Amino acid sequence: MNFQKEDFESVICDLCGADEYTKRYEKRGFWMVQCNKCGLVYTNPRLKQKKIAALYDADYFQGHGFDKSIDYVKDVNQHTGGKDGFTLEDWDCDNIIALLRESRTANHEPRLLEIGCGTGVFLDKAKKHGFDCHGLELSEYAANFVRQMGIPVETKSIEDASYPPNSFDAVVMREVIEHLPHPLESLQTIHSWLKPGGVLFMATGNYDCPERKLRGSDWFYFMPEGHLNIFSNRTMRNYLAKVGFSKISVTNQGDKLMDMLKSKEIITPGESSPRNIFKRTVFIIVRSVNHFISSGMRIYAVK
Protein backbone atom coordinates (compact mmCIF):
# COMPACT_ATOMS: atom_id res chain seq x y z
CA MET A 1 0.00 0.00 0.00
CA ASN A 2 1.30 3.45 -0.91
CA PHE A 3 1.03 6.35 1.49
CA GLN A 4 1.35 10.11 0.90
CA LYS A 5 3.07 12.62 3.14
CA GLU A 6 -0.28 13.97 4.32
CA ASP A 7 -1.29 10.49 5.58
CA PHE A 8 1.20 10.78 8.46
CA GLU A 9 1.20 12.54 11.83
CA SER A 10 3.90 13.04 14.46
CA VAL A 11 3.05 11.90 17.97
CA ILE A 12 4.49 12.30 21.46
CA CYS A 13 5.23 9.43 23.85
CA ASP A 14 1.92 7.96 25.02
CA LEU A 15 3.33 6.78 28.35
CA CYS A 16 5.09 9.90 29.66
CA GLY A 17 4.20 12.70 27.23
CA ALA A 18 7.82 13.52 26.31
CA ASP A 19 8.63 14.35 22.69
CA GLU A 20 12.34 13.65 22.68
CA TYR A 21 13.28 10.34 21.20
CA THR A 22 16.04 8.34 19.54
CA LYS A 23 15.48 6.68 16.16
CA ARG A 24 15.95 2.91 16.49
CA TYR A 25 14.73 1.04 13.42
CA GLU A 26 13.44 1.88 9.96
CA LYS A 27 10.97 -0.38 8.20
CA ARG A 28 9.02 0.19 4.97
CA GLY A 29 9.65 3.95 5.28
CA PHE A 30 8.44 4.12 8.92
CA TRP A 31 10.61 4.81 11.97
CA MET A 32 10.35 3.02 15.30
CA VAL A 33 11.69 5.46 17.88
CA GLN A 34 12.43 5.16 21.59
CA CYS A 35 11.41 7.79 24.15
CA ASN A 36 14.50 9.32 25.78
CA LYS A 37 12.66 9.70 29.07
CA CYS A 38 10.75 6.46 29.70
CA GLY A 39 12.04 4.05 27.03
CA LEU A 40 8.72 3.36 25.27
CA VAL A 41 9.20 2.30 21.64
CA TYR A 42 6.65 3.70 19.19
CA THR A 43 6.07 4.34 15.50
CA ASN A 44 6.74 8.01 14.73
CA PRO A 45 5.53 9.60 12.52
CA ARG A 46 2.62 7.21 12.17
CA LEU A 47 -0.41 6.94 9.91
CA LYS A 48 -3.34 9.17 10.82
CA GLN A 49 -6.18 7.40 12.62
CA LYS A 50 -8.46 7.49 9.57
CA LYS A 51 -5.80 5.78 7.43
CA ILE A 52 -5.18 3.17 10.12
CA ALA A 53 -8.90 2.42 10.42
CA ALA A 54 -9.00 1.78 6.67
CA LEU A 55 -6.30 -0.91 7.04
CA TYR A 56 -8.65 -3.09 9.08
CA ASP A 57 -10.86 -4.09 6.16
CA ALA A 58 -12.18 -7.53 5.17
CA ASP A 59 -8.82 -8.36 3.49
CA TYR A 60 -6.91 -7.68 6.74
CA PHE A 61 -8.99 -10.18 8.70
CA GLN A 62 -8.35 -12.82 6.03
CA GLY A 63 -4.55 -12.62 6.12
CA HIS A 64 -3.96 -10.13 3.28
CA GLY A 65 -3.21 -7.04 5.39
CA PHE A 66 -0.07 -5.78 7.12
CA ASP A 67 -0.23 -8.64 9.62
CA LYS A 68 -0.27 -11.90 7.67
CA SER A 69 -0.70 -13.96 10.83
CA ILE A 70 -4.29 -12.68 11.24
CA ASP A 71 -6.53 -15.08 9.37
CA TYR A 72 -10.03 -15.40 10.76
CA VAL A 73 -11.11 -17.79 7.99
CA LYS A 74 -8.32 -20.20 8.95
CA ASP A 75 -9.13 -19.71 12.67
CA VAL A 76 -12.73 -20.73 12.08
CA ASN A 77 -11.71 -23.81 10.09
CA GLN A 78 -9.30 -24.94 12.82
CA HIS A 79 -11.78 -24.05 15.50
CA THR A 80 -14.56 -26.11 13.97
CA GLY A 81 -12.14 -28.94 13.13
CA GLY A 82 -12.95 -30.72 16.40
CA LYS A 83 -9.47 -30.30 17.97
CA ASP A 84 -10.16 -29.74 21.64
CA GLY A 85 -7.13 -30.67 23.73
CA PHE A 86 -5.63 -28.62 26.56
CA THR A 87 -4.35 -25.44 24.87
CA LEU A 88 -2.60 -22.26 25.93
CA GLU A 89 -6.05 -20.66 26.16
CA ASP A 90 -7.02 -23.24 28.81
CA TRP A 91 -3.87 -22.44 30.76
CA ASP A 92 -4.64 -18.71 30.52
CA CYS A 93 -8.15 -19.39 31.89
CA ASP A 94 -6.64 -21.40 34.78
CA ASN A 95 -4.28 -18.49 35.52
CA ILE A 96 -7.12 -15.96 35.54
CA ILE A 97 -9.28 -18.15 37.78
CA ALA A 98 -6.36 -18.67 40.21
CA LEU A 99 -5.80 -14.89 40.41
CA LEU A 100 -9.50 -14.20 40.96
CA ARG A 101 -9.54 -16.76 43.79
CA GLU A 102 -6.50 -15.08 45.35
CA SER A 103 -7.77 -11.52 45.06
CA ARG A 104 -11.30 -12.16 46.36
CA THR A 105 -14.13 -14.63 46.51
CA ALA A 106 -14.46 -15.94 42.99
CA ASN A 107 -17.97 -15.51 41.62
CA HIS A 108 -19.94 -18.53 40.62
CA GLU A 109 -19.87 -17.36 36.99
CA PRO A 110 -17.28 -14.58 36.63
CA ARG A 111 -18.01 -12.04 33.90
CA LEU A 112 -15.24 -11.90 31.31
CA LEU A 113 -14.77 -9.45 28.43
CA GLU A 114 -12.37 -10.17 25.60
CA ILE A 115 -11.37 -7.09 23.60
CA GLY A 116 -10.48 -8.06 20.02
CA CYS A 117 -12.07 -11.47 20.45
CA GLY A 118 -11.77 -12.41 16.75
CA THR A 119 -13.73 -15.54 15.93
CA GLY A 120 -14.01 -16.52 19.60
CA VAL A 121 -11.24 -19.12 20.01
CA PHE A 122 -10.50 -17.85 23.53
CA LEU A 123 -14.11 -17.05 24.52
CA ASP A 124 -15.24 -20.55 23.57
CA LYS A 125 -12.61 -21.97 25.95
CA ALA A 126 -13.43 -19.44 28.67
CA LYS A 127 -17.09 -20.43 28.48
CA LYS A 128 -16.10 -24.06 29.13
CA HIS A 129 -14.13 -22.84 32.17
CA GLY A 130 -17.35 -21.35 33.59
CA PHE A 131 -17.00 -17.69 32.58
CA ASP A 132 -19.96 -15.55 31.55
CA CYS A 133 -18.37 -14.34 28.28
CA HIS A 134 -18.67 -11.08 26.38
CA GLY A 135 -16.77 -9.85 23.33
CA LEU A 136 -15.71 -6.57 21.74
CA GLU A 137 -14.54 -6.88 18.15
CA LEU A 138 -14.10 -4.52 15.18
CA SER A 139 -14.74 -7.14 12.51
CA GLU A 140 -18.44 -7.81 11.91
CA TYR A 141 -17.43 -10.98 10.04
CA ALA A 142 -15.61 -12.39 13.07
CA ALA A 143 -18.22 -11.18 15.58
CA ASN A 144 -20.93 -13.18 13.82
CA PHE A 145 -19.10 -16.45 14.52
CA VAL A 146 -18.96 -15.58 18.20
CA ARG A 147 -22.65 -14.69 18.29
CA GLN A 148 -23.43 -18.13 16.86
CA MET A 149 -21.86 -19.59 20.02
CA GLY A 150 -24.43 -17.65 22.04
CA ILE A 151 -21.84 -15.11 23.27
CA PRO A 152 -22.81 -11.41 23.04
CA VAL A 153 -20.38 -9.26 21.01
CA GLU A 154 -20.33 -5.54 20.38
CA THR A 155 -18.63 -4.36 17.16
CA LYS A 156 -17.11 -1.20 18.60
CA SER A 157 -13.77 0.28 19.57
CA ILE A 158 -12.81 0.64 23.25
CA GLU A 159 -13.55 4.40 23.07
CA ASP A 160 -17.05 3.82 21.68
CA ALA A 161 -18.02 0.96 23.99
CA SER A 162 -20.05 2.02 27.03
CA TYR A 163 -19.87 -0.74 29.64
CA PRO A 164 -20.76 0.49 33.13
CA PRO A 165 -17.97 0.88 35.72
CA ASN A 166 -17.16 -2.22 37.82
CA SER A 167 -18.90 -4.60 35.42
CA PHE A 168 -16.30 -7.32 34.70
CA ASP A 169 -14.30 -9.78 36.79
CA ALA A 170 -11.76 -10.24 33.99
CA VAL A 171 -10.73 -8.40 30.83
CA VAL A 172 -8.60 -10.14 28.21
CA MET A 173 -6.62 -8.47 25.39
CA ARG A 174 -4.47 -10.80 23.33
CA GLU A 175 -2.28 -9.16 20.66
CA VAL A 176 -4.34 -5.98 20.81
CA ILE A 177 -2.55 -3.35 22.93
CA GLU A 178 0.18 -2.78 20.31
CA HIS A 179 -2.57 -1.67 17.86
CA LEU A 180 -4.13 0.94 20.17
CA PRO A 181 -3.40 4.61 19.34
CA HIS A 182 -3.68 5.68 22.99
CA PRO A 183 -2.90 2.69 25.25
CA LEU A 184 -2.81 4.79 28.44
CA GLU A 185 -6.32 6.09 27.88
CA SER A 186 -7.58 2.62 26.88
CA LEU A 187 -6.04 1.00 29.97
CA GLN A 188 -7.71 3.64 32.15
CA THR A 189 -11.07 2.79 30.54
CA ILE A 190 -10.48 -0.94 31.04
CA HIS A 191 -9.48 -0.34 34.66
CA SER A 192 -12.83 1.41 35.22
CA TRP A 193 -14.74 -1.52 33.66
CA LEU A 194 -13.10 -4.02 36.03
CA LYS A 195 -14.52 -4.75 39.46
CA PRO A 196 -12.14 -4.23 42.40
CA GLY A 197 -10.01 -7.39 42.56
CA GLY A 198 -10.71 -8.03 38.85
CA VAL A 199 -7.97 -9.36 36.58
CA LEU A 200 -6.54 -7.95 33.36
CA PHE A 201 -4.74 -10.45 31.13
CA MET A 202 -2.83 -9.36 28.02
CA ALA A 203 -0.41 -10.87 25.51
CA THR A 204 1.86 -8.81 23.26
CA GLY A 205 5.39 -8.76 21.80
CA ASN A 206 8.39 -8.07 24.02
CA TYR A 207 10.88 -5.45 22.81
CA ASP A 208 13.54 -6.98 25.08
CA CYS A 209 13.45 -10.36 23.33
CA PRO A 210 16.59 -11.87 21.73
CA GLU A 211 14.89 -12.08 18.32
CA ARG A 212 14.60 -8.27 18.15
CA LYS A 213 18.22 -7.89 19.22
CA LEU A 214 19.37 -10.38 16.57
CA ARG A 215 17.12 -9.45 13.68
CA GLY A 216 16.66 -5.72 14.24
CA SER A 217 14.05 -4.21 11.94
CA ASP A 218 13.35 -7.70 10.54
CA TRP A 219 11.81 -8.74 13.88
CA PHE A 220 8.38 -10.01 12.82
CA TYR A 221 6.66 -7.85 15.44
CA PHE A 222 7.69 -4.58 13.80
CA MET A 223 4.59 -3.90 11.69
CA PRO A 224 4.71 -0.10 11.79
CA GLU A 225 1.50 0.44 9.81
CA GLY A 226 -0.57 -0.93 12.70
CA HIS A 227 1.73 -1.81 15.62
CA LEU A 228 1.92 1.68 17.08
CA ASN A 229 3.58 1.01 20.45
CA ILE A 230 6.00 -1.78 21.36
CA PHE A 231 6.39 -2.65 25.04
CA SER A 232 9.24 -3.94 27.13
CA ASN A 233 8.88 -5.58 30.52
CA ARG A 234 9.67 -2.20 32.14
CA THR A 235 7.42 0.07 30.06
CA MET A 236 4.54 -2.42 30.41
CA ARG A 237 4.90 -2.43 34.19
CA ASN A 238 5.08 1.37 34.22
CA TYR A 239 1.88 1.64 32.18
CA LEU A 240 -0.05 -0.67 34.50
CA ALA A 241 1.27 0.94 37.68
CA LYS A 242 0.39 4.42 36.33
CA VAL A 243 -3.20 3.30 35.68
CA GLY A 244 -3.48 1.87 39.20
CA PHE A 245 -3.10 -1.89 38.72
CA SER A 246 -1.35 -3.99 41.34
CA LYS A 247 0.10 -7.53 41.49
CA ILE A 248 1.57 -6.90 38.02
CA SER A 249 3.19 -10.00 36.59
CA VAL A 250 4.97 -10.15 33.24
CA THR A 251 5.92 -13.64 32.06
CA ASN A 252 7.00 -14.87 28.66
CA GLN A 253 5.31 -18.24 28.73
CA GLY A 254 3.87 -19.47 25.45
CA ASP A 255 2.59 -22.50 23.56
CA LYS A 256 5.92 -24.32 23.40
CA LEU A 257 6.57 -23.93 27.11
CA MET A 258 3.09 -25.12 27.97
CA ASP A 259 3.36 -28.15 25.64
CA MET A 260 6.69 -29.11 27.18
CA LEU A 261 5.56 -28.71 30.78
CA LYS A 262 2.40 -30.63 30.01
CA SER A 263 4.18 -33.49 28.22
CA LYS A 264 6.51 -33.90 31.24
CA GLU A 265 3.44 -33.76 33.48
CA ILE A 266 4.84 -30.70 35.28
CA ILE A 267 1.56 -28.86 34.80
CA THR A 268 -1.86 -30.44 34.60
CA PRO A 269 -5.18 -28.99 33.44
CA GLY A 270 -6.97 -27.10 36.19
CA GLU A 271 -3.72 -25.94 37.82
CA SER A 272 -2.14 -22.61 36.87
CA SER A 273 1.14 -23.64 38.51
CA PRO A 274 2.02 -26.90 40.27
CA ARG A 275 1.64 -27.21 44.05
CA ASN A 276 4.01 -30.16 44.39
CA ILE A 277 7.37 -28.73 45.51
CA PHE A 278 9.57 -30.66 43.03
CA LYS A 279 7.33 -29.92 40.05
CA ARG A 280 7.07 -26.31 41.19
CA THR A 281 10.87 -25.92 41.24
CA VAL A 282 11.22 -27.40 37.73
CA PHE A 283 8.34 -25.17 36.58
CA ILE A 284 9.98 -22.01 37.90
CA ILE A 285 13.38 -22.86 36.38
CA VAL A 286 11.94 -23.73 32.96
CA ARG A 287 9.74 -20.64 32.96
CA SER A 288 12.71 -18.43 33.89
CA VAL A 289 14.76 -19.80 30.99
CA ASN A 290 11.78 -19.32 28.69
CA HIS A 291 11.45 -15.74 29.94
CA PHE A 292 14.73 -14.86 28.24
CA ILE A 293 14.18 -16.63 24.92
CA SER A 294 10.54 -15.96 24.11
CA SER A 295 9.59 -13.04 21.81
CA GLY A 296 6.23 -12.39 23.43
CA MET A 297 5.01 -11.55 26.90
CA ARG A 298 1.92 -12.46 28.88
CA ILE A 299 0.77 -9.95 31.46
CA TYR A 300 -1.50 -10.39 34.46
CA ALA A 301 -2.56 -7.48 36.70
CA VAL A 302 -5.18 -6.99 39.38
CA LYS A 303 -7.37 -3.92 39.97
Q: Which residues bind Zn ion (CB under 5 A)?
A: 13, 15-16, 18, 35, 37-38, 40
Distance from C-alpha of 267 to C-alpha of 98, rounded to nearest angstrom:
14
**Nearer CB in complex with Zn ion: 3/31:** 31
Instruction: Rank residues 38 and 149 by Cβ distance to Zn ion and give the closer one.
Output: 38
Shortest Å distance, C-beta 42 to Zn ion = 9
CB of 13: closest distance to Zn ion in angstroms? 3
Q: State the minimum distance, in angstroms, from the CB of residue 303 to Zn ion.
A: 24
Of residues 13 and 267, the one with the C-beta less far from Zn ion:
13
Q: Pick between residue 51 and residue 234 the one whose CB is nearest to Zn ion.
A: 234
Q: Give the span between the Cα atoms of 255 and 205, in whole angstroms.
A: 14
Q: What is the Cα 265 distance to its own chain's centre?
A: 27
Provide the minimum distance between the beta carbon of 192 and Zn ion in the complex, in angstroms, as a whole number.
23
Strands 194-205 and 168-174: parallel
Least CB distance to Zn ion at residue 274 (A): 39
- CA-to-CA separations, 14 to 46, 183, 184, 235, 238, in angstroms, rounded: 13, 7, 7, 11, 12
The DSSP 8-state label assigned to residue 62 in this structure reads B
Of 222 and 239, which CB lies nearer to Zn ion in the complex structure? 239
Q: Looking at the chain, list the stretches that DSSP marks H as alpha helix, in order from N- to C-terminal side.
A: 49-55, 72-79, 88-103, 121-128, 140-148, 183-193, 210-215, 233-243, 255-263, 277-293
- Minimum distance from residue 33 beta carbon to Zn ion (Å): 10
Residue among 33 and 115 whose Cβ is closer to Zn ion: 33
